[in-house]
Amino acid sequence: MIKIINNWFQRHFSDPQVVFLVIFLVLSFTIVLLFNDTLTPVFSAIVIAYLLEGIVAIFSRLIKHRLASVILVFVGFLASLMITLFVITPLLWDQITDLISDTPKYIEQGRQLLLRLPQNYNFISEESITVLISQIQSEVTSMGKTVLTFSLNSIQGSITIMIYLILAPLLVFFFLKDKEKILNWFLHFFPENTQLSTRVWEEMDQQIGNYVRGKFWEITIISAICFTTFTFLGLKYALLISFLVGLSVVVPYIGATLVTIPVALIAFFQWGWTSDFAWLMIAYGIIQALDGNVIVPLLFSEVVNLHPVAIIVAILFFGGLWGFWGIFFAIPLGTLVNSVIRAWPSIPDEEELSVSES
């Protein structure tokens, strides 16, 4: 048994490049897990820098000056940030406030609907409906306490957000401006012979850039299509629901399933079992099909494809370890694991050598 383990270790870990890559990955994941909350502005800035890097590259080819391109793109980013903060965010907050104020009415409608179920279906008892209603009321009360706690802590949260709004744009600017300097500084800590790490990094750098930019455009396109459709059909809270549907694409498969629940509930409480409800759900289904069969293949054609099972496992695993950022980067991190496995050198054992020689 010891000999088998020793042979396996010699085959897969005898290369110094492999040892360095393992140490680097373990150290990186440890730092991320230990300082997740502290480094949130850094992670946000890295994502935005990846997003803007493609635009900077286009401007650099046109005007032949990277610093000028970075400044132009950064000014456009700040303008977009201001529009989001002072135009879109207040509209979203108004719709959230309206939804909270309308929630008691929706709860009463749902309660009346549930109380009518035993009359229409004999296999449903009044006792089970009463228990279900009490559980729903308990959950709503718990959610109300959570909202109250959030409002009491809003001052501290606002200060944190303001700090992030200052730090993150500054980090984005320096990540774009001094990209080569920062990468060269990191390379000083690397040994000279790092072909394996370089190969994995080059592939991951390209994949993360393509993924972040593709995911941004997917969120934007889906949100815009949903807002236009929901507004045309007259759905309440169209901006808020569209924003949630757009964000749901961050979590493949799972997000689309979960966000369908609030869309259907709000449409049902607004219209009931009517043709308006049917038309909205049909339109929503077409949007989801359009996303999965047209938008995603177009935007992510250059991203390494992973099996749906691998994507779901990556979401569960990295989301459990790293929270939101683990969910967001689940596909790139899954791609990283796949890249390391494919690039991992393996030295054949003695039996394989004897077979090949014969």
pLDDT at residue number 225: 95
Q: Tell me which residue has tokens 């949630």.
A: 244
Task: Give the per-residue pLDDT at 9.
Answer: 57
Per-residue confidence (pLDDT) for residue 122, from 0 to 100? 65
* pLDDT for 143: 62
* Per-residue confidence (pLDDT) for residue 1, from 0 to 100: 62
The pLDDT of residue 29: 78
- Going from N- to C-terminal start, the domains of the chain cover 203-303
pLDDT score for 125: 67
What is the per-residue pLDDT for 146?
A: 58
Report the pLDDT value the prediction gives residue 287, as an integer from 0 to 100: 94
The residues, ordered by sequence, that sit 6+ positions from 92 with a Cβ below 8 Å of its Cβ are 239, 240, 243
Q: What is the pLDDT along the chain (358 residues), one digit of tens a residue?
A: 666 666 655 555 555 666 666 777 788 778 877 777 778 888 888 889 988 988 898 888 888 888 899 999 999 999 999 998 889 989 998 998 888 888 888 877 877 777 776 766 666 666 777 777 777 767 666 665 555 555 545 545 566 777 778 888 999 999 999 888 888 887 776 666 666 667 777 777 777 788 888 888 899 999 999 999 999 999 999 999 999 999 988 887 778 888 999 999 999 999 988 999 999 999 999 999 998 888 887 777 655 566 777 777 887 888 877 777 777 777 777 777 776 776 665 544 444 444 444 4
Distance between CA atoms of residues 278 and 241, nearest Å: 17
pLDDT given at position 354? 45
Q: Which tens digit of pLDDT belongs to each residue from 164-179?
A: 788 889 999 999 998 8
For 258-261, the CB contacts below 8 A with 24+ separation are 260/284
For residues 224 and 203, the answer to whether their CB atoms sit within 8 Å is no
Structure tokens, 225: 């299509």
* CA 41/CA 62 separation, integer angstroms: 31
In 14-125, where does DSSP find H-type helix? 16-34, 40-63, 66-83, 89-115, 117-120
Up-side HSE of residue 260: CA atoms within 13 Å toward CB?
13
Q: Whole-angstrom Cα distance, residue 212 to residue 329?
A: 9
The C-alpha angle 208, 209, 213, rounded to 5 degrees, equals 115
Q: Give me the residue label for tokens 């989801």.
A: 288
